């Protein structure tokens, strides 16, 4: 897990869930999921991801 995955895990109060899993759970592509995270939680991954 990378830092972005850890931030998501802490935000959603779950254990060891990666971005791909969240996208699958919420039936969203990566870009749409990241947009939602930015809009609702004001978090975004670093530029390297």
Rounded to whole angstroms, how far apart are CA atoms 28 and 48?
21
- pTM metric for this prediction: 0.83
pLDDT for the residue numbered 1: 84
pLDDT for the residue numbered 47: 76
Please tell me the chain's helix, strand, coil percentages from 3-state DSSP, rounded to the nearest 5: 60, 0, 40
Classify each residue of 28-41 as buried b or exposed e, where b means 16 or more C-beta atoms within 10 Å of its C-beta.
eeeeebbeebeeee
- DSSP class of 48: T
pLDDT for the residue numbered 13: 95
- DSSP class of 27: T
Rounded to whole angstroms, how far apart are CA atoms 40 and 48?
22
pLDDT for the residue numbered 15: 94
pLDDT digits (tens, 9 = 90+) for 1-49: 899 999 999 999 999 999 999 999 999 999 999 999 999 999 999 876 6
């Amino acid at each position: 897990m990378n830092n972005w995955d850890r931030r998501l895990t802490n935000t959603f109060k779950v254990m060891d869930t990666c971005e791909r899993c969240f996208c699958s759970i919420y039936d969203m592509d990566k870009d749409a999921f990241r947009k939602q995270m930015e809009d609702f939680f004001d978090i975004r991954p670093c530029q390297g991801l």
